[in-house]
Amino acid sequence: MRAIALLLCLAGSMFAADSSGPDEKTRIKIVEYMLKTPMNEADPTLVSGFMKLDPESLPKKLRDKARGKQMEIDAIVKIHKGK
């Protein structure tokens, strides 16, 4: 659990070079990666990028799953911070 929280805290900004963010194909790949990868194995850079994605910009079939995963990550971060 600590490893997950540490990864989330240390995650860099995936979109620092491009303020507009990734194209649709890349957004879908990021979401699919995050949905299938256990949190303790996820790339911190992709976690950070995933958290910045607006689920409304995704295809309808991925929106609810992406929102759920973002809520899960938010909960892990809050638990780690003791809130």
User: Would the pTM count as exceeding 0.75?
Assistant: no
pLDDT, one tens digit per residue, over 27-52 is 999 999 999 999 889 999 999 999 99
Q: CA torsion, points 83, 36, 27, 48, in degrees to nearest 10?
A: 30
Cβ-Cβ contacts under 8 Å for 64 (sequence gap 6 or more): 55
**Residues 3 and 26 sit within 8 Å (Cβ to Cβ):** no
Domain ranges of the chain: 2-81
- Residue with the bigger pLDDT between 2 and 59: it is 59
Predicted confidence band of residue 83 (pLDDT cuts 50, 70, 90) = low
